[in-house]
């Protein structure tokens, strides 16, 4: 089966391409680096010819409110139109746990707009909602840094390894369209402030993690369950401590 992975040269996309290839599928990585641009439509008709499934794991280069909304709306419209013309039978998109819950930030609102376009299209679809990736943990800490302090809210946090996300996305793509969503998260849940206090200590990072109920997460304050899935989510197998140790060893 030919499966085109939009964003297929990125962090998650490259892992999805590998996973699909190991299951015997023709997985095609599509990105501006390979001559496919969903914002302009360049290369879409050519790469989608003969494709049965399209997976969209692309991401906006900017998280600025106007730019991120424009990226997801424009790229998704172009992609869905090209898929309809090519006769694609299943559209799979990677999104984020919590996009539908208040309070939202600009990125979550943009992802919600993307999902609404997918749900209203004529193409059978599946949405994979994932929690925050282990690979982005340091970026989250940096975003929350105020001087020598890292301000974190005492809310629930359940990040997941990129490898587990890729496996979940590939598994959904190889199945029948869900016409809905599935949630995936890491195997361990903790308080966000406690997670980062332990993480920074393990990095040997001297910054102090301060518990702050009003700490903002990429522009928005969080509720207790803003970032964690509902009951019944698919859980990954990789624990953060193991992932961090492997990556620190250069594996």
- Tell me the per-residue pLDDT of 154-180, one tens digit each, with 9 for 90 and over: 999 999 999 999 999 999 999 999 999
pLDDT over 70 at 250, yes or no = no
- The per-residue pLDDT for 251 is 42
Where are the strands (E) in the chain, listed by range?
2-6, 26-30, 53-56, 90-96, 125-130, 145-146, 149-152, 156-157, 180-185, 190-191, 208-211, 216-217, 220-221, 234-235
Q: Encoding tokens for residue 237?
A: 């197998």
Tokens representing residue 124 in the block: 């059978």
What pTM value is reported for the model? 0.94
* Model confidence pLDDT, tens digit, residues 22-81: 999 999 999 999 999 999 999 999 999 999 999 999 999 888 889 999 999 999 999 999
Q: Tell me what pLDDT residue 121 has.
A: 97
Of 100, 110, 88, whose CA–CA distance to 225 is shortest?
100
Residue-wise pLDDT tens digits, 83-141: 999 999 999 999 999 888 765 688 999 999 999 999 999 999 999 999 999 999 999 99
Q: Regarding beta strands 145-146 and 234-235, do their DSSP bridges make them parallel or antiparallel, or are they unpaired?
A: unpaired
pLDDT higher than 60, residue 151: yes
d(CA 93, CA 95): 6
Q: What is the pLDDT of residue 102?
A: 63
Residue 137: the pLDDT is 96
Res. 249 pLDDT band, cuts 50 70 90: low
At residue 94, the pLDDT reads: 98
The torsion angles phi and psi of 89, rounded to 5 degrees, stand at: -105, -5
Angle at 163 between CA 150 and CA 204, to 5 degrees: 30
- In contact, 117 and 73? CB cutoff 8 Å: yes
State how far the Cα of 20 lies from the Cα of 173, in Å rounded to an integer.
9
Domains of the chain (ranges plus CATH)?
2-248 (3.40.50.720)
Query: Which secondary structure element, helix H or strand E, spans residue 19, and what is its range?
Result: helix 11-22
User: pLDDT (tens digit, 9 = 90+) per residue, 139-150?
Assistant: 999 999 999 999
Give the single-character DSSP code of 25. Answer: -
Q: List helix spans (H) across 101-187.
A: 106-120, 137-143, 162-173
Q: What per-residue confidence (pLDDT) applies to 62?
A: 87
- Percent pLDDT > 90 in the chain is 89
Beta-sheet strand order (sheet of 90-96): 26-30, 2-6, 53-56, 90-96, 125-130, 180-185, 234-235
Section 223-244 average pLDDT? 95
CA-closest candidate to residue 171, choices 14, 55, 7: 55
Whether the per-residue pLDDT at 153 is higher than 60: the answer is: yes
């Amino acid at each position: 089966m030919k499966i085109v992975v939009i964003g297929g040269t990125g962090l998650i996309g490259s892992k999805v391409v590998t996973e699909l290839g190991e299951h015997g599928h023709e997985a095609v990585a599509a990105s501006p680096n390979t001559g496919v641009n969903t914002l302009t439509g360049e290369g879409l008709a050519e790469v989608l010819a003969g494709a049965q499934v399209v997976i969209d794991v692309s991401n906006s280069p900017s998280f600025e409110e106007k730019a991120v909304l424009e990226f997801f709306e424009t790229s998704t419209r172009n992609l869905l139109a090209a898929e309809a013309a090519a006769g694609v039978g299943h559209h799979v998109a990677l999104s984020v746990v919590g996009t539908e819950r208040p309070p939202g930030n600009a990125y979550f609102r943009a992802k919600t707009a993307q999902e609404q376009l997918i749900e209203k299209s004529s193409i059978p679809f599946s949405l994979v909602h994932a929690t925050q990736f282990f690979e982005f943990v340091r970026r989250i800490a940096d975003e929350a840094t105020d001087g020598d302090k890292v301000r974190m809210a005492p809310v629930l946090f359940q990040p997941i390894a990129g490898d587990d996300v890729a496996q979940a996305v590939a598994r959904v793509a190889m199945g029948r369209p869900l016409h809905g969503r599935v949630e995936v998260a890491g195997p361990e849940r903790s308080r966000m402030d406690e997670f980062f206090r332990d993480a920074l200590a393990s990095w040997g990072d001297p910054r102090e993690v301060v518990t702050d109920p009003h700490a903002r997460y990429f522009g928005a304050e969080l509720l207790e369950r803003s970032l964690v899935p509902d009951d019944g989510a698919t859980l990954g197998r990789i624990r953060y401590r193991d992932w961090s140790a492997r990556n620190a060893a250069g594996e």
